[in-house]
Structure 1
Amino acid sequence: MKTLETTPKTTYQLMRETEHELEDFLQSTFFDTKSLLLDDQVSKFEAELRGREEAKKEIDKRINRYLEGIKSAPWAAMRGKGKAIHISIDSEWVFNHETGKNDILCYSYSVRIGDKSFSGVKHTDMAKLIKQCRDQGLSKEDEMDKRKQLTKKGYKIGFDKFIQELLIKAKARGFIEEWPEQTFIYAHFLRADIASFEEFWNIGKNNKNHKNSLTVVQGTVTSGRGAYGIDLDAIGRSKYKIENTKFYSSSNNAFETKVRFVDTMLLSSKASLDEIGELVGFPKMTLPGNMIERMDDLYCKDTSLFNRYAVRDADIALEYGLRMQKFALVDLREDIGLELNSLPSTLGNLGVSLFRHTCGSTAAMHDFLGYETRKKQYYHAKSNAIRNTYDISKTVSREYTDNLAVSALFGGCNFGAYFGVSEKGDYFDYDLSGAYTTSLVNSKKADYPNTFESKNIEDYLGDTMGFAYVRFKHPDGIRFPVMPCRTDLRGIYYPMEGETYVTSPELQLAHDIGCEIEILHGMVIPWVEGSTSMYKDFTTIIRKQRSKYKKEGNELYSGLWKLVGNSLYGKTLQGCNNSKGFDLATGLSKNIPYSPVTNAHYGAYCTSYVRATMLEVIGKLCERYGDDIKIISATTDGWLCNATEEQLDQCLDGPLAQRFQQICTEVSGEDMMQLKHHAKQIISMKTRGQLTAELGDTKPICAKAGIKAPKGVDENEWMVELFLDRYPGQKVARKHLASARDQWLKEMDLVSIHTEQTLNLEYDFKRRPVNPRIVEVRHPKSGEMVEHLSFDTVPWNTVDEGLDARTYFDEWRVNNCLKTMEDWDNWMDFYKVRSYLKGTGVKYLEDGSEGIFKVQMLRAITQGKWGLPKAPKRAPRGHYDKMVAMFEADGIEGITKQDLANSKGRKLLESKLPVTPRMLPLLSWLVRKYPMVDMTLIFHPIEVEEAVSMLEEYNREHTEKLAA
């Protein structure tokens, strides 16, 4: 376009411009339609040119990919570069009782890429066969024969092929343009669904590391960050090998994508898929009747409902998995600044990542925990070079004291202090607030290099960390001893005296209540001067986030934060006690490795602090309110009792409780005690076995002592009925899934194994029963008032006393239950005889202690022992006849001449017998008939005084009868 010149022109120049030129100028300037048309054409041309350039680039890109595939080796595969695809899987099956395997009916799936998704169900040939057989009206036997034939032939889909089909389907629908770089596979309890595919142990068979594909975690299966490849090695470290997995497109071209398994069960606070569905707004569908156990019937009768049910499970797993991805990768970054590269396999791993974040760095975390980096060199033959490797190991000064800390590492404070039905009243279930995360904050930085040995109790008192092996004795009158003693089979006992490993918080408490303590071996690990706990920031975040989401009504996130917090405590103890787990890579049991945060010192100290704080408060309740306080049970971080909140508040003034409250105030501002449940009447069975007989103001207390209630019942009512109606030798159904070991080694499906076990809701004898009585309770089924035995308990004097009582009770309960006063009398008779006559060879007969006393009495009479008149060496004719007549005349029946003859030469027990109520009628007769009898020769020295007292009372109560 021309422009109008603005510079001055001469007259000559103006004359040279013709009128035509001037006309052209004006028209081109103000009326240039040709120019506008030309501009439009140019812009269109440029756009077309740009489109062609882009098309050319796309064509070049595809040609290069094609040439790359042509030039590469036939076995090579192109790596996916597209965005991630998320796939959840589920399967439905019916158990075949004849083959002992699951007949797989379908594989369901739910797929999501960005905002696009699709789902579906793939029915197996087995499902189609079953439907065909039933449509044809074949007999059950014929159907089973065909099912067996198909099972033998093989009908399950290969896992790789199944995922491959879904990837091809996603591409065909246009949901993805390129093969994905990453593929996430979700399932709730992965081991169940993976086992439904053809030979699940061969998953990833094209991967050279396929034997390391999966690892057993918490009874399920998961993989590491990489695809089919996890190698746990080195101390406190997980090294993941990222491997690609090969699939084939519809044109049979190979491509690779990184497959990552995610088991949503390991990332949830709820174990049930039903509960998970409620949390994410996908309620699990309910099926009519008992159809869940007969999915083959549902498939044949209503395939549409079957499909909807199958897909819903996959939808729930996918939705929850994606929410966990958001929680880990988005919400954690926005809420607390924690940036993760990928979703951790378990909440425990997430807890470790959060702790590392709050420490500031991995190096700072290792320094706090007592780890150091050690450099190693080795010759690498392939590269002909020296290479370096680095291991994370315990420092020498920490390792020096590790075994003592492990020995002092006990579980929670768990015991039942009452058995049977409680009297009606108000019973409260109190918990220490965030017990273990709070307790971890009590651990400052350990000064391992300055550890010192000490037998001086003063060195273990106050704010310090110490571990010792001690001999102790509690003062008389202590209702709840404070020194835990480990047993091989029966858990922890709290006796009045003994020897045990213990940590400084419990030494502090024992010292405060006046225990006699002799430290036999011990070490004190002081805190680094001026140090603070690196657990504090972690716990503060946990408490803050829990409180935040609780107020928002976000039950999902609130539960997750609680589990993340508790998981750090579990990770702190991981691997300390040399427990084993099944290793899928080798088929062997291996020691569970240390976690990155394992530290036996902090773990033992933390657990001890929780136990000691609980027992300090319980002890003060008993001391200040006496027998008015009834402690029902204690479990891990709380206890069940009849103390009111006002009474409890008056007993939080001990040094341990005050420190606990101080930590709670610093990290959350909450009170240290939280009321969880309230009830009007309790049924207490044993450790971890408490039920609600009469409801209070909260949900019922229902700790089922390891018993699993059937689905769809009120668990508390079902358990109360089971307890009240139990009988000796009663069997209950027990169902458990095949273990990972059996699946791997025996090539089993994940089948439910049904067995029966003997019901055991009897007392576990962690304490000594006293004060037996009958208490009434309402039967949940009939509504009638029924009676049941109840008793209080006191501590055993020694651990051995408790273990002996438990052993004898296990023998007695084979044919008995503790339900009535008659049961109590039978048990006490059995217990006293078995405990006092241990090692004598005397057996407990059907007629109990009365029969044993009768046998010994006849021996004493015929042998002239126990201070009785001397008996002739050889009985004269008629001597035994006269004695039999004497017994019969005095109302003692069942004694024969042969009994007397046999007694003459048999071994007699002297100063061995216990005294029992059943012996008193014969004992009373013996003393009246032979006043010279020596009671000290009959009864054990400990029992003589009680025997005299019981005999006098018996004689007073039966004066008239004896006179007659």
Structure 2
Amino acid sequence: MHKPNLANTFTFKIEPDDHGGKTKTVAINRQNAAGPSLNPKGRGKKKEPKAHLLIGFDTEYQAVSDQELQSTIEQGAKNHLLSYQFSIKLLTDEATEASPEAEGIIIPEPDTRLSMEEFLGFAIGTLIEKYPGIVLPTHIYLIGHFIRADLPAFVDFRDKAQRLMSNVRSTFVTIDSSIPVTFDDNEGAVAEFSVSIRDTILLAPANAKSLADIGEIVGFEKIQLGSSPEEDKQIKQNMAIYLKEHWPDFRQYGIRDAQVCVRYAERVIAQSKALFGSFKMPATLTSFGTKLLLQGWKEQGLDKDQILGREEVVDKKFSEKKGYFQKVTSHPFIEEVYYQEAFITETYHGGRNEQFIFGIADEGRWRDHDLSSAYTTAMALIGQADWENIRTLTHLEEIRPLDLAYFSVDFEFPESVRFPTLPVRTSNGIIFPRAGNSKCAAPELFLARRLGAKLRFRRGIIVPSDPTKPVFKSFITTSIQNRSAHAKGTFDNLFWKEVGNSTYGKTAQGLREKRVYDLQSDDMTSLPESAITQPYFASFITSYTRAVLGEILNGFSPKVDVFSVTTDGFLSNANDVEIANATAGPLFRSFSDARKQLDENGEPLEVKHTVRQPIGWRTRGSATLKAGEGKNGIVLQKGGIKTNPYNNASDENNETVELFLNRKPDDKIRYKSGVGIKDMLRRDTDFVFRSVTKRLSMEFDWKRSPANPREVDIEFNGKRYKHLTFDTTPISSASEFNNVRDSWEKYDKRSHHNLKMFSDFTDFESFLATSKLPDQQPAKYLHQKDGDLKRLRRDLTRAFKKQQAGFDIILGKRHIKHSEYKEALEACGIPCSINDIDNAKRQEFKPHQTIETERVRIALETLKRDFYPELEIELLLPEVNMETTEKSPLATAA
């Protein structure tokens, strides 16, 4: 890098040495400056800019190697910076002709980095060189995609980030302030700018987060480096070689990324101008939704505080910075709402997420059905609430499914209900047990009654509401109509989809504490409430969505297998007739009617994916063994498993499946994980992918009880595998869930285990049963392997020595040597030694203490048939309750 003689002149290399090493000099002149943009005293109302400089920013670098990373991460790991590239465009509020734009690349000297001012100065100077008469606006948007990876390339990044930037969803933006940049010559300031940082990843739709997706949306596609996904992945991991061997392509690729950011920024600003008359670029896409909603209420003459159960309060607060009292306006909940807030928040739960089949599903036609716009449709059903007349209920009244009513109830579902529908919160997420206590809202209580659940009232609150005055419907209708007016995959279609879908989350923001890192304080702080946070609404919306799903699941006949449920959808092998029958209930009809009112051409239930054979292990942990046809033929939820960040969808699926099928108890997974923002700031590191090693965790989560355990043979990628598979039934209660989870953790703690073979399942079943059976010294018998057979040996040897359970008759007829008895037990699969028999004389025989597993019963029946016909098996096994048949502690019959 050549240091400029003057701070308004910049000279940098624009070609690598291997390709000529050409340099370029540009300058920023007074005649190009619009005038001062900064107000040093910070007084007076800022005027909205009528023009912006959009500067798309990207860097290319060779990632630091694992060996280098391990030795430098504590001191501040740095990637090998290859290039800075930019795309710069003048965007005016009322452009009538093509806007001036330019682009370029900078090749830094080895181990040298630019300041933000130097980079901006060279980009601006490049535009001036192309358009010498241009007059520059005073505001700049510096835009990147996942800019967190590129900003550290500036030598002054850390200082600017800590003073002037904010952390939003793990990337950097400016919100409350901008970055001042001044260019000088010997006579003083030449030009002054204020710089706002924006990241297109925060402005991208939920299902289009990559830069390639964004480029496709705006019709300016990102360049692919390789002719195949595998080649593209290899090149991106070796960019230094690509620069040296393919310089023209490297230059074009780097600049295109910066150009895509500018094109997308233009669309976002144009949308802001069209919707709000504001020629600005918001920091996030979700902010559009909240702003549109509040604007719509105002245009309809509605009071947002009245809708949300809040009131405006004006206080005076002393400002130490300014030295005087200031008026501070807040909008707390009114008393009636506030007094019940803690209870209502307890009735708020997230989506329903469960794995119903562990292991390998049968091959067939598995379809992933989603409720279309589930949360937004639920929002549209909320009527104007009469907050001042909230009423406490004294018993379970006849509650309607769309009431804003909230309950604490004890419940028990009939055995015939395959999928209980009342949520119970645990330290490991929500579960749906057969019985327990639930804090829930009206939709799920209504469904529980229809399913025949026994309910015992504990507490209830109802807010009178007027369904003829829906408070969100107009906003949602506008979002859906605008979305439907544009072709799928276009900017406008995806924009309106995201605006509608993301607004629900704002009603729940801040209800349960979420800690986020704050750059300025260098500490963790609580995520605050949004402008529309309302726990009563958030609870109803999620309850209604879970209830509609629960009604569908319980509407299937027993021959339908449901593989999993995830938030607003389910994967099943139900055919069209079964789907029609399951969607005939009142809750789905209300959902369907609401969807039709919002979008008369929209289908309430959509098929998102179709696969031939899925494989699953836990909540949000599933993949595809045999894909379906088309681009939506793979279902993949990695359940926290991280794979190569350069993988495409097919590679990710294959890698995940092979991890599951080939895992061993002590397997560890090594993957690349991006360093966090906190470490980047505290250690002054680049965004680097460090290697993380952790134990591979792909086992069942025990939210349901296993049933019909079996081994299934399959072929994947040319190899044969055999794997444990089981169906599930509802867990009986939260206490049983906690007991099984705790038992699995204890079982897995001393030596690690997988659930891969049937024997793995029975070993844990034995451990669980042993730990649950009463005993004077239970810990002594908590054997992790063959616990059921070891308990059987204990009881048989005690019965033999104490002449119980039929041995009084057996030994009365003939003498049996210890060696003979040992051989008889071993012939039946019961491990035994002479010492085991000798030691048994010290303990009394207690009936009904043996663990009843399949192999225990087989061993006993063999011992009785082949050796001791007088053996009284029923005195060893648990007593049978004639009213409720005793079952295995873990598995149930299918």
Q: TM over 0.5: same fold?
A: yes
1:122 aligned partner, one-letter code: I
Q: Distance in 2 between matches of 1:660 and 1:339?
A: 35
1:635 aligns with: 566
- 1:168-214 alpha-carbon deviations (Å, 9 max, x no partner): 444455456445221111000121111221142212xxxxxx74522
Question: Aligned partners of 1:200, 1:324: CA distance in 2, in Å?
Answer: 26
Q: Using the alignment, how far apart are the partners of 1:81 and 1:441 within structure 2? A: 37
Identity across aligned pairs (percent)? 25
2:517 partner SS? strand
CA distance, structure 2, for counterparts of residue 354 and residue 908 of structure 1: 76
Aligned residue for 1:356? Answer: 294
Match of 2:113 among 132, 156, 159: 156
CA distance in 2, matches of 1:434, 1:501: 25
Equivalent residue for 1:182?
A: 139
User: Could you say which residue in structure 1 is the equivalent of 2:555?
Assistant: 620
Q: Which SS does the other structure have where 2:842 is aligned?
A: coil
Read off the aligned partner of 2:210 and give its amino acid letter. Answer: S
Residue in structure 1 matching 2:607, options 675, 685, 688: 675
CA spacing shift, 1:248–1:535, aligned 2, 3 Å: farther
Q: Name the CA distance, whole Å, in 2 between partners of 1:868 and 1:119.
A: 94
Displacement of 1:117 after TM fit? 1.4
User: What residue number does 1:120 align with?
Assistant: 104
Change in CA separation of 1:280 and 1:889 when aligned onto 2, cut-off 3 Å: closer
Q: Which amino acid aligns with 2:511?
A: C
Question: Are residue 396 (structure 1) and residue 380 (structure 2) matched?
Answer: no
Asked whether 1:580 is paired with 2:518, we answer no
CA distance in 2, matches of 1:177, 1:895: 94
In 1, are the aligned partners of 2:611 and 2:626 still within 8 Å (CA)?
Answer: yes
Which residue of 1 is the match for residue 8 of structure 2? Answer: none
1:740-755 matched pairs, under 5 angstroms: 740-755=677-692
1:97-137 per-position Cα deviation (integer Å, ceiling 9, x unaligned): 423422222221111114111111212222xxxxxxxxxxx
1:551-950 mapped onto 2 (5 Å cutoff): 553-621=488-556, 626-669=557-600, 670-698=602-630, 699-706=632-639, 707-710=641-644, 711-712=647-648, 713-779=650-716, 781-782=717-718, 787-810=722-745, 815-836=752-773, 840-841=778-779, 842-862=781-801, 882-888=817-823, 895-905=832-842, 911-920=848-857, 923-924=860-861, 938-941=876-879
- Deviation for aligned residue 1:327: 2.5
What pairs with 1:493-512 in structure 2 (closer than 5 Å)?
493-512=431-450
Aligned alpha-carbon RMSD (Å): 3.7
Deviation per CA, 1:509-533, whole angstroms, max 9, x where unpaired? 1111211111212211111x47512
Q: Which SS does the other structure have where 1:549 is aligned?
A: coil
What amino acid is aligned across from residue 171 of structure 2 in structure 1?
Answer: T
Equivalent residue letter for 2:60: E
The answer for the alignment partner of 1:441 in structure 2 is 380
| 1:374 paired to 2:374 | no
Q: What is the CA distance between 1:944 and its match in structure 2? A: 11
Alpha carbons of structure 1 residues 182 and 938: separation in structure 2 relative to 1, 3 Å: same
| Contact 1:582-1:741 within 8 A present in 2 as well | yes
Q: How many equivalent pairs are there?
A: 812
SS at match of 1:520: strand
TM superposition shift of 1:941: 3.7
User: How many angstroms apart in 2 are the aligned matches of 1:629 and 1:925?
Assistant: 38
C-alpha contact (below 8 Å) 2:345/2:539 kept by paired residues: yes
Q: Work out the CA distance in 1 between the residues paired with 2:858 and 2:585.
A: 53
Checking the alignment, whether the CA contact within 8 Å between 2:144 and 2:258 is kept in structure 1 is yes
Please state how far the C-alpha of 1:507 moved relative to its aligned partner. 0.7
Indicate yes or no: 2:165 matched with 1:214: yes
Q: Which amino acid aligns with 2:697?
A: N
Residue in structure 1 matched with residue 24 of structure 2 by the alignment? none
Distance in 2 between the 1:471 and 1:80 partners?
Answer: 57
Question: SS at the partner of 1:507?
Answer: helix
- Pick from 278, 281, 302 the counterpart of residue 219 of structure 2: 281
* Residue in 2 that maps onto 1:519: 457
Match of 2:241 in 1: 297
**2:210, 2:125 → 1: CA distance?**
32
Deviation at 1:742, TM superposition (A): 1.4
- Asked if the contact 1:183–1:259 (Cα under 8 Å) also holds between the matched residues in 2, the reply is yes
Q: Which residue of 2 aligns with 1:35?
A: none
Change (3 A) 1:911 1:748: farther
Of 731-740 and 754-763, more deviation after overlay is shown by 754-763
How far apart are residue 778 of structure 1 and its match? 4.0
CA distance in 2: counterparts of 1:642 and 1:653, whole angstroms: 18
Deviation at 1:935, TM superposition (A): 5.8
1: CA distance, partners of 2:808 / 2:852: 23
Question: Structure 2: how far apart are the matches of 1:949 and 1:587?
Answer: 55
Corresponding residue SS for 1:164: helix
Deviations 1:426-453 (A, max 9, x none): 3222111110111111111221211111
Distance, in Å, in 1 between the alignment partners of 2:334 and 2:449 is 32
- 8 Å CA contact 1:861–1:871 kept in 2: the answer is no
How many Å apart are 1:158 and its aligned residue? 1.7
Per the TM alignment, residue 690 of structure 1 is displaced from its structure 2 partner at its CA by 3.4
Relative distance call for 1:466 and 1:284 in structure 2 (3 A) is same
The TM-score, its normalising length taken from structure 2, stands at 0.83
Deviations 1:136-191 (A, max 9, x none): xxxxxxxxxxxxxx5xxxx3222233223433444455456445221111000121
Distance 2:687 2:697 in 1: 28
Query: For structure 2, which runs of at least 5 residues remain unmatched after alignment?
Result: 1-29, 42-46, 92-98, 889-894
Deviations 1:44-64 (A, max 9, x none): xxxxxxxxxxxxxxxxx99x9
Measured in 2, the distance between the counterparts of 1:751 and 1:299 equals 20
| Greater shift in the superposed pair: 840-849 or 367-376 | 840-849
Measure how far apart 1:743 and its partner are.
Answer: 1.4
State which drifts further: 845-854 or 263-272: 845-854
Task: Name 2:281's counterpart in structure 1.
Answer: 343
TM-score (norm 1): 0.77
Q: Tell whether the 8 Å contact from 1:455 to 1:521 is kept in structure 2 after alignment.
A: yes
1:862–1:871 Cα contact (<8 Å) kept: no
Residues 871 and 947 from structure 1, CA distance in 2 versus in 1: closer, same or farther, beyond 3 angstroms? farther
Structure 1 residues 65 and 340, CA gap change in structure 2 (3 angstroms): closer
Distance change >3 Å, CA 196–CA 871, structure 1 → 2: farther
Quick check: 1:881–1:897 contact (8 Å CA) kept in 2?
Answer: no
1:460 match: secondary structure: coil
1:313 aligns with 2:313: no
In 2, Cα distance between the equivalents of 1:862 and 1:653?
Answer: 65
Deviates more, 1:798-807 or 1:471-480: 798-807
Unaligned runs of 5+ in 1: 1-60, 74-78, 127-149, 204-209, 229-243, 873-878, 951-964
Structure 2 CA distance for partners of 1:890 and 1:576, relative to 1, 3 Å: closer
Aligned match of 1:88: 56
Give, in whole Å, the separation in 2 of the partners of 1:364 and 1:88.
Answer: 40
Quick one: distance in 2 between partners of 1:887 and 1:943?
33
Deviating more after overlay: 319-328 vs 846-855: 846-855
- In 2, distance between residues paired with 1:776 and 1:534? 54
Residue 768 of structure 1 contacts residue 796 of structure 1 at CA under 8 Å; is this kept in 2? yes
Judging by fraction of residues, say which structure has more helix: 1
Q: Is the contact between residue 375 and residue 504 of structure 2 (CA under 8 Å) also seen in structure 1?
A: yes
What is the SS of the residue equivalent to 1:393? coil
Helix, strand or coil: the match of 1:884? helix
Counterpart for residue 256 of structure 1:
192
- Cα gap change, 1:168 to 1:488, in 2 (>3 Å): same
After superposition, the Cα gap between the structure-2 partners of 1:644 and 1:586, relative to the gap in structure 1 and judged at 3 Å, is: same
Selected match of 1:104 from 81, 84, 96: 81
CA positional deviation for 1:505 = 0.7
Partner Cα distance (1:563, 1:80) in 2: 26
Counterpart-to-counterpart distance in 1, 2:470 and 2:48: 46
Q: 1: distance between equivalents of 2:821 and 2:489?
A: 84
2:892 aligned partner: none
- Letter of the 1:666 partner, please give it: Q
